[in-house]
Amino acid sequence: MLSDPQAFAWPADASTVVAGTQLLRRACVDEHVLHIDSGRVALGVVENGVLAHQMGLVEGPAWLNVGCAVLDKPPVVDAVADGPVQLRRVPLRDFVAGLRELPAPALALLRDMAAAHRQQAELAVSRLAKDAEARCAEWLLRHAEPAQGAPGTLAVMLRQRKRMIAAQLGIAPETLSRVLRQLRERSLISGTGRILNLLDPGALRALAGA
């Protein structure tokens, strides 16, 4: 029933969007439920306008944010058109009204499935941030050398551009900058130029092994 956006005769605005169009934003409530008629949509985490981490693809025909409507919660992940996408936007209030027409057991099952899917997505997003920090900490330790003029301390000389380092780590340059900033704020490293001082190598090792 839910595979067809006309199942409840919902009014829907049809449109076509180009590649790179952001269709959903994390933690932002959308007043529409989106049905992809054709095309592909990438799911993941957008940072500074770029899909820095891709977690999956949805290919039409398919609903995009039904779980959000069912649970009355905002999206956990961002959604970006991966090429031209034809879609229909069903007003949220009309979609929710249609859900109320379902038998109670069917609606309860739908909510349970949506909650389980959301929990998996939340876990995946949390692991993305953790993995980025762990990879960055491991890279810093691997490239550490004795700091000049400071016996017993370690430092990393950045001999490559951050874009190249980010590519080695499998993350976006923006993600690398964010992680380094977070490590500075936690007093694990210092320095903003081409030399990074490792203030707490033990904590970095724990982070890398987490």
- pLDDT value of position 125: 84
Q: Is the pLDDT of residue 150 over 80?
A: no
**pLDDT tens-digit series, residues 32-42:** 999 999 999 99
Ranges for all domains in the chain classified under CATH 1.10.10.10: 128-208
Which CA distances in Å does 139 have to 105, 191, 198?
51, 16, 12
> pLDDT band at 7, cuts 50/70/90?
low
What is 128-208's CATH number, 3.40.50.300, 1.10.10.10, 3.90.420.10, 1.10.1380.10? 1.10.10.10
| Residue written as token pair 């933690």 | 27
Query: Once rounded to an integer, what is the mean pLDDT over residues 183-196?
Result: 91
Distance separating alpha carbons of residues 46 and 6, to the nearest angstrom: 31
Q: How far is CA 85 from the centre of its chain?
A: 20
pLDDT of res. 69? 95
Instruction: Give the chain's mean pLDDT.
Output: 89
pLDDT for the residue numbered 9: 61
Residues in contact with 43: Cβ distance below 8 Å, sequence separation at least 6, in sequence order? 54, 55, 56, 57, 58, 77, 78, 79
Per residue in 49-76, pLDDT (tens digit) is 888 888 889 999 999 999 999 999 999 9
Give the per-residue pLDDT at 3: 54
For the cut 70, the answer to whether the pLDDT of residue 2 exceeds it is no
Domain 13-101, CATH among 3.40.630.10, 2.60.40.10, 2.60.120.10, 3.40.630.30: 2.60.120.10
Query: Where in the sequence of the chain do the CATH 2.60.120.10 domains occur?
Result: 13-101
In this prediction, residue 210 has a pLDDT band, given cuts at 50, 70 and 90, of: low
Q: What is the pTM of this model?
A: 0.65
Name the residue among 21, 6, 155, 174 with its Cα closest to residue 86. 21
Say what the pLDDT of residue 128 is.
76
- According to the model, what pLDDT value does residue 47 have? 80
Give me the pLDDT at residue 52, please: 80
